[in-house]
Amino acid sequence: MARSAEELIKFIEEQRNPEHFKGLPLEGKRVLDLSTVIAAPYTAALLGDAGAEVIKIENPRFPDGLRTWGTIKENGIEPYYSVLGRNKLPVTINLKSEEGKKLFLGLIRESDVLIENMRVGVMDRLGFPQDVLLKENPGLIIGKVSGYGMTGPHAKQPGFGTLAEAFSGFSYLNGYPDSGPTSPPMALADLTTGVHLALAIALCLPKAKRGVEGGQVVDISLYEPLFGYLGGEFLSYVLTGVVPEAIGNELRAAAPRNNYRTKDDKWIAMSCSSQKPWEALAKVMGREDLIDDPRFLTNNERIDPQNRQELNEIIQEWYGTLTEEEALEIFRREGITAGPIPNMKDIAEDPHYLERGTIIEMEDPVTGVMLKMPDVTFRMLGTPGKIRFPGLPHGSANKVVYRDILGYSEEEIEKFAAESAI
């Protein structure tokens, strides 16, 4: 059921009830999310899943651009922000106004983590260099996300996930030999960076004490986490001098590993590079002769480009004689490592997704629309994470946060709004 403005404030007040955080790993921690779009906000969302109270800070006039990503016209739901804005209390602050600066520093003193992704030097120009923030709160952990990191020749260049995917080497290796570099259909660099920063902050928190000691700065770029994933490819180049090229759905160091089309025009992903799965596959194809074939004897032979191509042709020909269900039944029976390639409709109806609880359903607190989104992506049986509510409207937590955390009266908060400080 849709809520009025007053009911939404009561909803937000209820979300601050300590019972909602009880027993969660980051219970009692407070995170300031002074960031936009995906990478850094994803970090804050993950910390919120783990029980931190997350305050989302936005510009009063210019909300997070993620709010405009594919807004549903029929009901005004912001799907990307609903997911990445989960568990966050949205407030507005004008960091260029004197009252806004005071509010921000007040929140700094009452928090454990600050996450920001402004371009290098912007926080300094606003009057918030890291040494000032750490003086205000010696226990503050500051997570800084940028395209290229805080140092190096590109440090002051604007950075976006697409550019980071390119700079990391990922885009060059993604795609097919004749397709050219291919960017992923999702914010891969941002999300990967978000996970890495959440890990780094979690590693810092045990030695930090709000307002006392242990504060530090975590500097993370958008390109380095993805480049780290490509470490084997990079070292291979260093050792051989051979530049790795795109090879489609395959893995350079393993074969067979590919996506194959079935008789009913469905797709199945398969990875059978280890010897036992490979031999099992050869047997179910009725091609036991391939096991002793010098071209396919071990993975080292199978990854030879010519041998790989010939093996793929053999496997694809066999797939073309089976429907998806027939192939999957064989793989389930024989324990072969292959599985379906579903689309979003398939996922929404998949019994494993539903029974395991991979998808969570909750009501949008503003419109009353029922939303479905990915639940917390890992299971901690003793202290499980929790998504309490989806993304909330721009500035909707101003009254609750400034009153309950910083102690301002409703009249003072109204004055801040009238003065464009919030």
Domain annotation covers residue 243: no
Same domain, 265 and 170: no
Q: How far apart are CA 118 and CA 116, in angstroms?
A: 6
pTM for this predicted structure = 0.94
CATH number at residue 372: 3.40.50.10540
Cross-strand pairs, 367: none
For the segment 45-50, the average pLDDT, to the nearest whole number, is 98
Same domain, 282 and 320: yes
Question: Given the structure tokens 């602050």, which residue do they identify?
Answer: 93
Q: How far apart are CA 364 and CA 390, in angstroms?
A: 7
Q: pLDDT per residue over 106-115, tens digit each? A: 999 999 999 9
Domain annotation covers residue 102: yes
User: Using an 8 Å Cβ cutoff, are 365 and 13 in contact?
Assistant: no
Domain annotation covers residue 269: yes
Domain-terminating residue out of 346, 377, 409: 346
For the segment 395-405, the average pLDDT, to the nearest whole number, is 98
- Tokens representing 338 are 């292959």
Same domain, 155 and 274: no
Q: What are the b/e assignments for 64-81, b being 16+ CB within 10 Å?
A: bebbeeeeeeeeebbbbb
Q: Give the residue among 106, 110, 92 at the shortest CA–CA distance from 416.
A: 92
Q: Can you list the alpha helix ranges (DSSP code H) found in 111-265?
A: 122-125, 130-136, 161-167, 170-173, 188-204, 224-229, 231-240
Domain annotation covers residue 83: yes
For the segment 270-289, the average pLDDT, to the nearest whole number, is 96
The pLDDT of residue 3 is 83
Same domain, 35 and 148: yes
For the segment 139-158, the average pLDDT, to the nearest whole number, is 95
Domain annotation covers residue 101: yes
For the segment 116-145, the average pLDDT, to the nearest whole number, is 97
Residue-by-residue DSSP string for 41-85: HHHHHHHHHTT-EEEEEE-SSS--GGGGSS--TTT---HHHHHHT
Same domain, 287 and 394: no
Q: pLDDT per residue over 184-220, tens digit each? A: 999 999 999 999 999 999 999 999 999 999 999 999 9
- Tokens representing 3 are 């809520």
For the segment 268-289, the average pLDDT, to the nearest whole number, is 96
Q: How far apart are CA 241 and CA 133, in angstroms?
A: 46
Q: How far apart are CA 53 and CA 28, in angstroms?
A: 7
What amino acid occupies position 212?
V
The pLDDT of residue 1 is 67
Q: pLDDT per residue over 306-352, tens digit each? A: 999 999 999 999 999 999 999 999 999 999 999 999 999 999 999 99
Q: Give the residue among 172, 251, 232, 64 at the shortest CA–CA distance from 164.
A: 172
The pLDDT of residue 32 is 98
Domain annotation covers residue 211: yes
User: Using an 8 Å Cβ cutoff, are 116 and 143 in contact?
Assistant: yes
Same domain, 217 and 141: yes
The pLDDT of residue 356 is 95
Same domain, 39 and 144: yes
Domain annotation covers residue 250: no
Same domain, 171 and 71: yes
Same domain, 198 and 333: no
Same domain, 72 and 18: yes
Domain annotation covers residue 76: yes
What is the number of structural domains in the chain?
2
Same domain, 393 and 414: yes
For the segment 48-74, the average pLDDT, to the nearest whole number, is 96
The pLDDT of residue 421 is 97
Q: pLDDT per residue over 18-36, tens digit each? A: 999 999 999 999 999 999 9
* Structural domain boundaries enclosing 173: 5-229+354-418
CATH number at residue 320: 3.30.1540.10
Active site residues: 190
Mean pLDDT computed over every residue of the chain: 96
Q: pLDDT per residue over 157-172, tens digit each? A: 988 999 999 999 999 9
Contacts by residues 7-15 (CB-CB < 8 Å, ≥ 24 positions apart): 8/365, 8/366, 8/392, 8/393, 8/396, 9/396, 9/399, 9/400, 11/365, 11/389, 12/89, 12/392, 12/396, 12/397, 12/400, 13/400, 13/404, 15/89, 15/388, 15/389
- Tokens representing 344 are 């979003």
Same domain, 389 and 280: no
Q: How far apart are CA 367 and CA 378, in angstroms?
A: 29
Q: How far apart are CA 230 and CA 51, in angstroms?
A: 32
Residue 223 has pLDDT above 80, yes or no: yes
